[in-house]
Chains A and B, each alone.
Chain A
Amino acid sequence: MAFLSYLINGLSLGSVYAIIALGYTMVYGIAKMLNFAHGDIMMVGAYVAFFALNSFGLPVIPSVLLSMLVTTCLGVVIERLAYKPLRQATSLSVLITAIGVSYFLQNGAQLLWSSSTKVFPSIISSGAIKLFGGQLQISYLTLVTIAVCIAVMVCLTLFINKTKTGMAMRACSEDKGAATLMGINVNRIISITFAIGSGIAAVAAVLLCATYPTLSPTLGSMPGIKAFTAAVFGGIGSIPGAFLGGLMLGVIEILSKAYISTQLSDAIVFTVLIVVLLIKPTGLLGRKLNEKV
């Protein structure tokens, strides 16, 4: 029974990783860049939600929506100002810029909101459903987290597979030049991708802070790195891959904390990543690039 409870906690943590990883992987799939500032965009989302709930006293849903709106705009602005001028540059320049943006956001947050930690208010009632005569308890928060993750995943998949913009995104991820020849505005598609990835990062931020309610300007960096790992784990660029990678990472992390060692859990997570990449370099669901000439 303890195992089941750890597993569910792992899925819950993994859901948060998965939502962040979806943003990473979408941006990589389309813009072919690693947006290392993604975790920090999430951090900004967490602060916006915090102020909306605490200072303005808004209800939960409007706070989340406001936070999403802010991170969406932030993502688009960052892309426009920092990444778009580097479209023809080498990927190393873009990577360094992304790390720069990450530090900029962290320090900006420190300046605006100070480096002292804040406590995120509890947003979901602390009850739990009891199964097996009370032996297994699943908190509402856990259920909500997993449900939201599945909902985000389903919406995103439908968007990409069923809409015209989604089709344009798929075309851009394969060949931007050919997409331009089809009349697709590649810059606009990249903007939309950043908007969506950053918007859902706010959802992850609220779920993360509901579980671990300590706010600090660096709160995005570790989950950011974990989510990036999850995206690579699942096969970067693949949306189901990010979902699967996130969930697996969460489960491995919680199980190793429970059964092996709390201190070593991160090391174990990264060891598993290395092993997976050794066996399957493109990640679990990543596809091999087969080019026919």
Chain B
Amino acid sequence: MLKVENLVVKYGMIEAIKGISFEVNDGEIVTLIGANGAGKTTTMHAISGLIKPVSGSIYLDGTDLTKVQPHKIVSMGLAQVPEGRRVFAQETVEENLTLGAFFRKDKDKIKADMDYVYDLFPRLKERSSQLAGTLSGGEQQMLAMGRALMADPKIMLLDEPSMGLSPLLVSEIFSIIEEINKKGTTVLLVEQNAKRALAIANHAYVLETGTITLQGTGQELSRDARVQKAYLGG
């Protein structure tokens, strides 16, 4: 479904991503783990078109996204839950969800998806007319996920969904990611919480200073001595 080939991204003179390649197959949960500054968010931004790569390709079902205008990418079925949630603080919960379906014209299906999001996150329904900026961190994370679901994506990118949340909320968020995946949405997950991410991932990649240094199934990597030492506190 998603295939990244020899991706290189630079900030000025600094090469943040040094030619990485990876693949996400239909229906999978794939995770990209790595320390702060490894280039995880940069990779996510490149896929969604927020930053233009220097070279390399990003194929979504065969179409090279690096040649697509950034705002058209979401309508091709790729939605992102960005790092730090980035909900529209001055808009209500409902308006944020409506913005998630901005490019869509199928009104009936939008309504159905909104009901689905409210089912998935009952707390958002209770707060539908509240400004997003007044929500707690966990609720904002749910809103950011709900907003991405409103695009009815084939593949959802999640960038550090567990950041700054209590362990209880982290468990909730991760079980919802699994639920979304079971409903048929492919997931690309970027996490610093490697333990959790590896536990739900079909396939995983380790990113270190802009290079993929290890890859394997989630189970393989969670047993790998290097991963345990560097990321799992083993």
**Once the chains are docked, how many angstroms separate the CA of A174 from the CA of B147?**
16
Residue ID in chain B nearest A291 by CB atoms? B89
Q: State whether the Cβ of A117 lies closer than 8 Å to any Cβ in chain B.
A: no
Interface size class on chain B is 20 to 34
Least CB distance, B76 to chain A, in whole angstroms: 10
Q: State whether the Cβ of B128 lies closer than 8 Å to any Cβ in chain A.
A: no
Q: Do the beta carbons of B103 and A181 come within 8 Å of each other? A: no
Q: State whether the Cβ of B19 lies closer than 8 Å to any Cβ in chain A.
A: no
Query: Which residues 208-249 of A sit at the B interface, judged by CB distance below 8 A?
Result: none
**Once the chains are docked, how many angstroms separate the CA of A168 from the CA of B99?**
8
The binding surface of chain A is classed by DSSP as helix
Q: State whether the Cβ of A133 lies closer than 8 Å to any Cβ in chain B.
A: no
Q: Do the beta carbons of A183 and B103 come within 8 Å of each other? A: yes
| Interface core residue of A167, A177, A181, A185 (most chain B CB under 10 Å) | A181
Q: Do the beta carbons of A177 and B86 come within 8 Å of each other? A: yes
Q: State whether the Cβ of B164 lies closer than 8 Å to any Cβ in chain A.
A: yes
If the complex has contacts A167-B95, A181-B79, A292-B133, are A186 and B86 also in contact, measured as CB distance less than 8 A? no
**Once the chains are docked, how many angstroms separate the CA of A47 from the CA of B159?**
53
Q: State whether the Cβ of B111 lies closer than 8 Å to any Cβ in chain A.
A: no
| Chain B residues, CB < 8 A from A163 | none
Q: Do the beta carbons of A290 and B89 come within 8 Å of each other? A: yes
**Once the chains are docked, how many angstroms separate the CA of A271 from the CA of B84?**
41
Q: Can you list, as one digit per residue, whether each of B90-127 has a CB less than 8 Å from chain A (1) or not (0)?
A: 11000100111011000000000000000000000000
Q: Do the beta carbons of B88 and A183 come within 8 Å of each other? A: no
Q: Do the beta carbons of B69 and A292 come within 8 Å of each other? A: no
If the complex has contacts A167-B98, A181-B50, are A175 and B88 also in contact, measured as CB distance less than 8 A? yes
| Chain B residues, CB < 8 A from A168 | 102
Residue ID in chain B nearest A287 by CB atoms? B90
Q: Can you list, as one digit per residue, whether each of A249-293 has a CB less than 8 Å from chain B (1) or not (0)?
A: 000000000000000000000000000000000000001001111
Q: Do the beta carbons of A170 and B88 come within 8 Å of each other? A: yes
| Interface core residue of A164, A167, A178, A287 (most chain B CB under 10 Å) | A178
Q: Do the beta carbons of B71 and A174 come within 8 Å of each other? A: no
**Once the chains are docked, how many angstroms separate the CA of A175 from the CA of B140?**
15
**Once the chains are docked, how many angstroms separate the CA of A180 from the CA of B90?**
17
Q: Do the beta carbons of A184 and B102 come within 8 Å of each other? A: yes
Q: State whether the Cβ of B192 lies closer than 8 Å to any Cβ in chain A.
A: no
Query: Which residues 159-182 of A sit at the B interface, judged by CB distance below 8 A?
Result: 164, 167-168, 170-171, 174-175, 177-182
| Chain B residues, CB < 8 A from A178 | 82, 86-88
**Cβ-defined partner of A183 (8 Å) among B90, B95, B102:** B102
If the complex has contacts A290-B133, A292-B140, are A182 and B102 also in contact, measured as CB distance less than 8 A? yes
**Once the chains are docked, how many angstroms separate the CA of A178 from the CA of B143?**
13
Q: Do the beta carbons of B82 and A174 come within 8 Å of each other? A: no
7 nearest A-B pairs in the assembled complex, by CB-CB distance: A183-B103, A178-B86, A183-B74, A185-B71, A182-B102, A182-B99, A174-B88
Beyond the given A181-B74, A292-B89, please list 13 additional residue pairs across the A-B interface where CB-CB is below 8 A: A167-B95, A167-B99, A167-B102, A177-B50, A180-B71, A181-B82, A182-B102, A182-B151, A183-B103, A184-B102, A185-B69, A287-B90, A292-B133
The chain A residues found within 8 Å of chain B, CB to CB, are 164, 167-168, 170-171, 174-175, 177-186, 287, 290-293
